[in-house]
């Protein structure tokens, strides 16, 4: 169980999972900004 305010404060998606080992995009990234917490 994670305390929700703490989780939301530190949550971010930097899209590393969308790149290969050399740092190239596997697919074109979304045009929207990455998700970040409050």
Counting every residue written for the chain, the total comes to 38
What is the model's pLDDT at position 13? 82
Predicted pLDDT of residue 25: 95
Q: What is the pLDDT of residue 10?
A: 84
pLDDT, position 12: 83
The predicted model scores a pTM of 0.54
Listing DSSP states for the chain in one string gives: ---HHHHHHH-B---GGGB-TTS-BSSPPPSSPPPB--
Question: What domain count does the chain have?
Answer: 1
Interval 1-38: pLDDT, tens: 889 888 888 888 888 899 999 999 999 999 988 878 77
What residues make up the domain containing 21? 1-38
């Amino acid at each position: 169980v994670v305390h929700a305010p703490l989780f939301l404060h530190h949550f971010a998606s930097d899209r590393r999972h969308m790149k290969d080992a050399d740092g190239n995009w596997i697919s074109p990234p979304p045009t929207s900004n990455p998700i970040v917490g409050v």
